[in-house]
Amino acid sequence: MIPDDTAIEARAQALYEQHSTDVAMRTDRMFGMLIVAEWVVGIYVALTFTPVSWNGHVASISPHVWVALVPGSALVIGALTTLLLRPGTRLSRHVIAVAQMGFGTLFIHLTGGRMETHFHIFGSLAFLAFYRDWPVLITGTVVALIDNVARGLICPDDTGALTALTTARVFEHAGWIWFEDIFLIASCVRGQTEMRAIARRMAQLEHASNLEALMEAAEESNRSKSEFLANMSHEIRTPMTAIQGYADLLMEPDTTESDRLEYVQTIRRNGEHLLRLINDILDLSKIEAGKMTVEHISCSPASVLVDVASLMRVRALDKALQFDVVYETDIPATIQSDPTRLRQIVVNLVGNAIKFTERGGIRIGVRCEQPDSANPRLRIAVADTGIGMTEEQIGVLFMAFSQADTSTTRRFGGTGLGLAICRKLAGLLGGEVTVQSTPGQGTSFFLDIATGPLDGVPMLSGYSEAGFQVEASPASDARHVDARVLLAEDGRDNQILITTHLRKAGAHVTMCENGRLAVQAALLASASGTPYDVILMDMQMPELDGYGATRMLRTQGYKGPIIALTAHAMAGDREKCLAAGCDDYLTKPIDRATLVEAILRWHTPARAEHAPPNALDADEDDEMAELRADFALRLPEIASELVTAMDAGDEVQVRHIAHQLKGAAGGYGYPALSTVAHRVEEAARHGHDVAAAARTLLKAIREAR
C-alpha cells in the first residue's frame, strides 16, 4: 500500500470510530430517557394492574410494588451512573442492554406473565440494534433467557414463565429470540460496513481536497518565488552588467585618470548594492531556519535613534526632503532589547520612507506607552509623504517573496526582502511592525517592541533629536565662559575645531594628545591649587584611552567634572562613559552651542558671565570658513594616510583614521563624509569587509575635495 493509501485508511478508521462514538452517545441518551420512563411505568403497573393480574381482584397495595421499586431502582441507577461516567463506550452499551432487558422481564412479572408483555423483549432487542454493535444483542438475549428460566424455577405461579426446564417452551422461546437476533445482527453488520464505506469516501474526499489546497498553495508559492527570482535576476544582472562593462572600460589603453576613477567608483557602487542584496538573503534564510538570535541587554533607545538619524539624514537631504525626529513622550533611559537589530529595523523603515518619497518629508515619532504597566512598550512611528499603498498592496507587503507592487522594483529598486526581515526581527524582539497608508498621501509604519520592566529606570524628558537632554536658552542669551578647560583629544582637526569654539566663548584651553598626558596634567593642576574647571575627554586615544584615563583619575580621588567626547553614538555608549566615571556625554560632530551649554552646566556658575550681544558670533563666519578651508586642504593628506594603511593591510590604522574623520568631518560641514567614515568604523568593529569599506571612504574623501 502506497503512503497516500495508508494515510487515507488511517483517516477512514478515525472517521469511522468518531461516527461510531457519536451514534453510541446519541443512543445512550435515548435509552437513558427510556429507562427512566419504564421505571415510572413499572411502578404504576405494580400499583394498578399487578393486583388484578395475580389475585383477580383489586388489592390495596400489592407486594409486587417492591419488585418494581427495588430492582427497578437498581437498573436505573446502574444505567444512569454508567452513562454519566463512561458515555459512548462499550461498557455503557452493555450496561444499557442489561437494564433494558431487565425492565422487559420486570413487566412480564408484574403482569403475571401476560403474553402481550413478552413483546417488550423483542422490541428492546430491536432498539438495542440502534447501537449497530451486534455483541450488545448477544448480551440482551442472554439476559432475557436467563431471566425466563429463573422465573420458571423461582416463581412457577407466573403463568408466562416456564414450569419445567425440560419443556419444549424453552426452545420455542429461545428460538423466537434467536430468530430475531439473526436479522438484527445482520442489520448491525451491514450498518457497520456502510459506516466504514462512508468513512473511507469522506477520507478520500478530504485527501483530495487537501491535495488540491496544497497544490494551489504550491502554485501560489511558485508564482511568488518566480516573481521574486525575476526581481532578483534583474537586481543582480543590472549591477553585474555595470561591473563587467566598466571593468572592460578600465582595460582600455586610452582611459584617462579621471575616467578611470569614475569607472572604479561605479564598480564599487554596484558591488555595494550586490553586497546588501546578499546580506538581506542571508538574514532572511537565517531567520526562517530559526538560527537568528537576538540579545536582550540594557541599551539606550535614544542613542539608537541618534545613530539612525545621523546616517539617514544625508540621504533625505540629497532628495530635498525634510527630516525630523520627535520625542512625543518621556522615554526610558534604557530598555532591554537588541540595539543592533533595533537599529536594523528602524534604518530599513526610514530607508523605505526616503526611497518612496519624492517631496515633503520623513518624521520619526517616539513614545513610550503604558510605562507603569507590567508590559510597557516603545513605539517608533516612521511617517512619510510618499506614494502610499492600497489595501491590496498592504496585504502582501510583508511576504518574503513579494512586494506591494512589482512595478516598484523597476522604478525604485529593491528585492522585497527588507520588510519581511523587519517584521520577523520585531517578533524576535517581542513586538510587531504594522502599517497604515493612503494612496498618494503617504505611509506610516509603526514598530512596537517590548521594553522589559521599567521599575527604577529613569524616564527622560526634554530630549532633543541628538538624543540627550537639553536646557535650551534663548539664542540672544549668549554667555562668556571664563573657564579653564583641559582638552584631551588626539585628532588634529578636532583639536583645532574644539579649541576654536571654546576660545571664542572665552575659555582658556590646554591641550594634550592622549589619556596618560591628560591624567598627568589634571593631577598636576589640582596639586598646584589651580584645577581645571572642566575636562573634555575624548574616549578613543592612543597609549591610554578616555575610559582608562577617567577611571585612573577617579581612583586617585579627582572630583572635577569630566565630559566624554566620542564619535560613538550607539546604544550603550553613553552608559559606558558614565560607568567609567564621566559626568556627561557629548557626541561628535561637536555642535558649538551644545558644547558651550555643556561647559556652562558643569562650570561654577559664578564664573559664567553674560557676554556682549553677538560676542560669540563675531567674525565666526570668516573664521569657520577659514577652518573649513584648512580642513579641506588636509583631505589629500588624510586620503594618502588611508591609502598607505590600506596597502599595508593595517585595519587598526584604517579604523583610527575613520574614527578621527567621523568626528571632524561633521564639525567642518561634511556630514556625508562623516557618515561614510562611521560605516568604515562599524565595519572594522564587527569584522566586516574593512578593505571594501575603506575604498568607499577614499572615494568620499576625493569627492569632498
DSSP string across 262-322: HHHHHHHHHHHHHHHHHHHHHHHHHHHTT------EEE-HHHHHHHHHHHHHHHHHHTT-E
| Residue 410 exposed, middle or buried by CB count within 10 Å (0-12, 13-18, 19+) | exposed
pLDDT digits (tens, 9 = 90+) for 561-582: 999 988 665 546 777 888 889 9
The answer to whether residue 485 scores a pLDDT higher than 90 is yes
φ, ψ (nearest 5 deg) of residue 96:
-60, -40
Please name the residues in contact with 403: beta carbons below 8 A apart, sequence gap of 6 or more.
Answer: 231, 396, 397, 409, 414, 416
Residue 77, phi-psi category: left (phi > 0), alpha (psi -120 to 50), beta (remainder): alpha
* The CATH number, out of the four listed (2.40.160.40, 3.30.70.260, 1.20.120.160, 3.40.50.150), of the domain defined by the range 622-704: 1.20.120.160
The answer to whether residue 478 scores a pLDDT higher than 80 is no
pLDDT band at 261 (very low <50, low <70, confident <90, very high): confident
The answer to whether residue 331 scores a pLDDT higher than 80 is yes
The residue ranking higher by pLDDT, 522 or 671, is: 522
The residue ranking higher by pLDDT, 505 or 616, is: 505
Please name the residues in contact with 595: beta carbons below 8 A apart, sequence gap of 6 or more.
Answer: 498, 501, 502, 586
The answer to whether residue 617 scores a pLDDT higher than 50 is no
The answer to whether residue 379 scores a pLDDT higher than 80 is yes
Q: Are 435 and 397 in contact (CB under 8 A)?
A: yes
The pLDDT value recorded for residue 618 is 44
The pLDDT value recorded for residue 277 is 67
The Cα 573–Cα 688 span in angstroms is 21
The Cα 336–Cα 452 span in angstroms is 5
The Cα 139–Cα 100 span in angstroms is 11
The answer to whether residue 467 scores a pLDDT higher than 60 is no
The Cα 432–Cα 425 span in angstroms is 8
pLDDT band at 471 (very low <50, low <70, confident <90, very high): very low
The pLDDT value recorded for residue 302 is 86
Match 448491525 to its residue by C-alpha cell: 188
> For domain 477-595, which architecture applies?
3-Layer(aba) Sandwich (3.40)
The answer to whether residue 684 scores a pLDDT higher than 70 is yes
pLDDT band at 448 (very low <50, low <70, confident <90, very high): very high
b/e map 420-457, b = 16+ CB within 10 Å? bbbbbbbeebbbebebebeeeebbbbbbbbbbbebeeb
Q: Are 43 and 68 in contact (CB under 8 A)?
A: yes
pLDDT band at 89 (very low <50, low <70, confident <90, very high): confident
b/e map 190-223, b = 16+ CB within 10 Å? ebeeebbeebbeebeeebeeeeeeeeeeeeeeee
pLDDT band at 46 (very low <50, low <70, confident <90, very high): confident
The Cα 383–Cα 94 span in angstroms is 71
Q: What percent of the chain has pLDDT over 90?
A: 12
The pLDDT value recorded for residue 228 is 62
Q: What percent of the chain has pLDDT over 70?
A: 75
The Cα 263–Cα 251 span in angstroms is 11
Q: Are 638 and 657 in contact (CB under 8 A)?
A: yes
Q: Which of 15, 188, 175, 180 is nearest to 93 (CA)?
A: 188
Helix, strand or coil for residue 242? helix
Give the residue extent of every domain in the chain: 3-203, 236-292, 297-473, 477-595, 622-704
What is the DSSP secondary structure assignment for residue 458, as one 8-state letter? P
Nine-digit cell string for 647? 596597502
The pLDDT value recorded for residue 24 is 83
Q: Are 178 and 127 in contact (CB under 8 A)?
A: no
Q: How is domain 297-473 classified at the CATH fold level?
A: Heat Shock Protein 90 (3.30.565)
The pLDDT value recorded for residue 232 is 64
The answer to whether residue 50 scores a pLDDT higher than 70 is no
The pLDDT value recorded for residue 61 is 47
pLDDT digits (tens, 9 = 90+) for 152-170: 666 555 544 444 444 556 5
pLDDT band at 469 (very low <50, low <70, confident <90, very high): very low
The answer to whether residue 384 scores a pLDDT higher than 80 is yes
The pLDDT value recorded for residue 477 is 43
The residue ranking higher by pLDDT, 274 or 282, is: 274
- For domain 236-292, give the CATH number: 1.10.287.130
| Least confident residue range of 66-70, 83-87, 308-312 | 66-70
Helix, strand or coil for residue 528? coil
The pLDDT value recorded for residue 610 is 41
Q: What is the mean pLDDT of residues 329-347?
A: 88
The answer to whether residue 486 scores a pLDDT higher than 80 is yes
C-alpha distances out from residue 104 to 81, 108, 148, 172, 687, Å: 20, 6, 11, 18, 90
Best-predicted range by mean pLDDT (30-34, 112-116, 266-270, 314-318) = 30-34
pLDDT digits (tens, 9 = 90+) for 201-225: 888 888 777 777 777 777 766 666 6
The pLDDT value recorded for residue 79 is 83
C-alpha distances out from residue 382 to 12, 321, 393, 702, Å: 53, 14, 18, 34
Kindly report whether the global pTM for this prediction surpasses the value 0.75. no
H helical segments located in 396-466 = 406-412, 418-428
pLDDT band at 376 (very low <50, low <70, confident <90, very high): very high
The pLDDT value recorded for residue 704 is 67
Match 570658513 to its residue by C-alpha cell: 625
H helical segments located in 485-514 = 492-504
The residue type at 81? T
